[in-house]
């Protein structure tokens, strides 16, 4: 996937792709304002270590957006749109890991995602604190996907 992404990404975007484990991200502390992960949790060997690494690389006030099929959160069969939960419940294990890393859940919901009917999207944010690594006025936010 990294090779394909590198091939199809226009060079003028100055995007660099790395292959790394979630549990050992090759970045310094507090470098990203946003980390976005999709359908990858099942490939992590240690959920706590992966979330700890994400927390480490997020700037204060930085946000994690996680979209995945999570255990215990599957919708069973078809339901009428008005009967679906507007805000999905975060699984207890994931909620505890996020809380342990000072990542506050600020929203969650089920959504259709590339024909996957049971994907839950969760947004979690670090508390705002002053940091020397925050972008200065006019700098774009730093993102990791």
Q: Give tens-digit pLDDT for 13-61.
A: 888 888 899 999 999 999 999 999 988 998 999 999 999 999 999 999 9
Helix/strand/coil (H/E/C) assignment for every residue in the chain? CHHHHHHHCCHHHCCCCCCCCCCCCCCCCCCEEEEEEECCHHHCCCHHHHHHHHHHHEEEEEEEEEEEECCCCCCCCCCCHHHCCCCCCCCHHHHHHHHHCCCEEEEEEEEEECCEEEEEEEEEECCCCCCCCCCCCCCCCCEEC
Indicate the average pLDDT of the chain: 81
pLDDT at 80 (0 to 100): 41
pLDDT of residue 111: 74
Q: Of 32, 20, 13, which Cα lies nearest the Cα of 143?
A: 32
Whole-structure pTM value: 0.74
Q: Is the pLDDT confidence value at 63 over 70?
A: yes
The pLDDT confidence band at residue 144, using thresholds 50, 70 and 90, is low
Q: Where are the domains of the chain?
A: 22-144
Q: CATH homologous superfamily for 22-144?
A: Vaccinia Virus protein VP39 (3.40.50.150)
| HSE-up of residue 142 (Cα within 13 Å, Cβ side) | 17
Count of Cβ atoms closer than 10 Å to residue 28 Cβ: 9
Task: Check whether 99 has a pLDDT greater than 90.
Answer: yes
Given pLDDT bands bounded at 50, 70 and 90, which one contains residue 138? low
């Amino acid at each position: 996937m990294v090779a394909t992404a590198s091939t199809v990404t226009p060079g003028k975007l100055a995007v660099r792709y790395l292959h790394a484990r979630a549990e050992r991200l090759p970045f310094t502390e507090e470098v990203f304002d946003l980390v976005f992960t999709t359908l990858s949790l099942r490939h992590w060997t240690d959920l706590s270590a992966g979330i700890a690494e994400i927390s480490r690389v997020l700037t204060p006030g930085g946000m994690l957006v996680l979209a995945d099929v999570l255990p215990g959160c599957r919708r069973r069969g078809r339901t009428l749109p008005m009967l679906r939960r507007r805000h999905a419940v975060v699984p207890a294990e994931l909620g505890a890991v996020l809380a342990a890393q000072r990542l506050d859940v600020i929203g969650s919901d089920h959504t259709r995602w590339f024909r996957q009917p049971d994907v839950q999207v969760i947004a979690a944010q670090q508390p705002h604190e002053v940091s020397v690594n925050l972008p200065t006025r006019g700098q774009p936010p730093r993102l990791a996907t």
